[in-house]
Amino acid sequence: MEFPDMPDPGENLSSPLSEVISARDKATLDMVREALLKKRVLLAYQPVMQTARPDQVAFYEGFIRVADRKGRIIPARDFMGVVEKQEMGRILDTLALEKGLEALEIEPGLRLSINMSARSIGYPRWNRVMEAGLIKDPTIAERLILEITESSAITLPEIVQVFMADMQMKGISFALDNFGAGYT
């Protein structure tokens, strides 16, 4: 049976739309790469309020941001989908952790959650940053919440489970980020 609308397997499947998407993704990767090289990375803090006492902050969530060459702050939703499965995603996770640990060290009353991908579990750089932060201040672990993105956690459930058990023994709490949304 013939399917006239189906492309020949050897045919180039490039379309104007896919070329535009590829160009946009390349521009995003270039922008993030430059931000990393120039150290234009920061955390934006959002308070998470208590349910029983809505006037009281339960903790803050630290969201990774990069600044483009014009100094505009770019939220993660604008770049994470492109970089999360690459080395840059792990580097961003490491920088978010590093900046979060620095904030926890400076502000002893702070409780902070930091997002991470399950793909960063076992990443040597991330592990070194975590170890160094916990050694500097023993109270940091009990004030740190790691939010693992649901989409990455479901791809590596056994690894996530072992990682969580290990970190919980150190006093670190966990949350599942974007639960039910299926995206980061």
Distance CA(128)–CA(183), nearest Å, equals: 28
User: Would you say residue 89 lies in a domain?
Assistant: yes
CA distance 143 to 69: 34
Instruction: Dig out the tokens for 134 from the structure.
Output: 């916990």
Instruction: Tell me, rounded to whole angstroms, the distance of Cα 146 from its chain centroid.
Output: 10
- pLDDT tens, the chain, 184 aa long: 443 443 444 444 455 555 555 777 788 888 889 998 998 999 999 999 999 999 999 999 999 999 999 999 999 888 888 888 888 999 999 999 999 999 999 999 999 999 999 999 999 999 999 999 999 998 999 999 999 988 778 888 999 999 999 999 999 999 988 654 444 3
Q: In terms of DSSP bridges, do strands 41-49 and 73-75 run parallel, antiparallel, or are they unpaired? A: unpaired
- For residue 184, being part of any structural domain is answered with no
CATH code assigned at 157? 3.20.20.450
Residue 101: give the domain boundaries.
Answer: 16-177
Structural domain total, the chain: 1
Does residue 152 fall inside a structural domain? yes
In a domain, 70, yes or no: yes
Within a domain: 83: yes
